Amino acid sequence: MVKDGIVWLESCASTNDEAGSLVKDTSVVAVAATAQTQGRGRAGRAWHSPPGAGLYLSWIGRPRFPQSLGSVVPLMAAVTVAELCERLGVKVQLKWPNDVLIGNRKLAGVLCEARGTPREWTVIIGIGLNIFRPEGGYPDAVPAVALDEYTREELDPKDLAEELVSRLDARLTELGRDGGAPVIGAWERRGYPRGSTLQRGDLRGTFAGLTDEGALRLATETGIHTIHAGDVDIIE
């Protein structure tokens, strides 16, 4: 079923893969499903996608700016999800680059995949948003949380999908018009407080903000390290 440019599926292996097969069809803006059998996150991790518990949506962004600005897109996606949650009265924190948390539990994850050439490209933004806590809860290995645990607002996955698509459209237009500064600022307001202790592998330091390209700046005894990719953990 297609509604307002969103292709709705009962189930699929991966909405990102489905969206990837439709990038040339400009009438399609996103693919959404009520379940995924092979949902994935960053670094090839599996994304827990039980039927009826979440929104699994892949938005097809068609930027009108060079791919050199694309490093900010994952942060843009995380900010967009955070803004939706805040509209529902749910306060979240962002974990670099694009995880959406409540406390130390994940509410939403984002996977961005660019296609095309540096000048003519598309980006597929896959968003897994936990809406309803599954019966029996989440597996022990999945430190997750759902929206319905924190809000009394009515939660309709199709309404949330349409709102996410609208917000992503607006943010992408803003990114092309104003550059990355508004997104960086919006992310930092919801991310780690400056001075928080972070660790990436054997490297430990304090959060010193983001670069103009969205990379993380880690202040250590040996100076500022700029991290462009990978997992960074906060040390309580």
Q: Are residues 146 and 74 in the same domain?
A: yes
Q: Are residues 178 and 217 in the same domain?
A: no
Residue 2: pLDDT band (50, 70, 90) is low
The pLDDT assigned to 137 comes to 80
pLDDT digits (tens, 9 = 90+) for 52-67: 789 999 999 999 998 9
Strands ordered across the beta sheet of 233-234? 223-227, 216-220, 203-210, 197-200, 233-234
The letter for the amino acid at 20 is G
Beta-bridged to residue 233, according to DSSP, are 199
Identify the pLDDT of residue 95.
Answer: 95
What mean pLDDT comes out for the span 63-85? 94
pLDDT of residue 136: 80
48 & 135 share domain? yes
Specify the amino acid at residue 73.
Answer: V
Which residues make beta-bridge pairs with 219? 206, 224
Q: Which residues contact 166 (CB under 8 A, 6 or more apart)?
A: none
What tens digit of pLDDT does each residue of 180-236 get? 999 999 999 999 999 999 999 999 999 999 999 999 999 999 999 999 998 899 997
Instruction: Examine the fold and report which residue of 172, 190, 208 is the final residue of a domain before the chain moves on.
Output: 190
Residues 101 and 202 in one domain: no
- Number of CB atoms found within 10 A of residue 9's CB: 15
- Domain match, 25 and 58 both: yes
One domain, residues 95 and 129 = yes
**CA 31 – CA 17 distance, rounded (Å):** 9
- Could you tell me what percent of the chain has a pLDDT over 70? 93
Q: Are residues 55 and 93 in the same domain?
A: yes
Q: Which amino acid is at 97?
A: P
Task: Identify the helix (H) or strand (E) that includes residue 41.
Answer: none
181-190 and 73-87 are packed helices; what angle lies between their axes, rounded to 10 degrees? 50
Owning domain of residue 216: 197-234
Confidence class for position 32, pLDDT limits 50, 70, 90: very high
Query: Could you tell me the CATH number of the domain that includes residue 58?
Result: 3.30.930.10
Q: Are residues 108 and 223 in the same domain?
A: no
* Res. 118 pLDDT band, cuts 50 70 90: confident
* 79-94: average pLDDT: 97
Q: Are residues 60 and 174 in the same domain?
A: yes
- Cα separation, 115 vs 34, in Å, equals 25
Same domain? 123 vs 206: no
**Would the pLDDT of 44 be above 60?**
no
Q: Are residues 53 and 27 in the same domain?
A: yes
What does pTM read for this prediction? Answer: 0.92
pLDDT, tens digit, 9 for 90 and up, residues 168-181: 999 999 999 999 99
The chain-wide mean pLDDT, for the chain, equals 91
Contact criterion met (CB below 8 Å) for 60 and 35: no
> Does residue 173 sit in helix, strand or coil?
helix
Distance in angstroms (rounded) separating the CA atoms of residues 29 and 113: 15
The pLDDT value given to residue 13: 87
Mean pLDDT of 67-74: 92
Q: How many domains does the chain have?
A: 2
Exposed/middle/buried for residue 118 (C-beta within 10 Å: 0-12, 13-18, 19+): exposed
Residue 201 sits in the same domain as residue 102? no
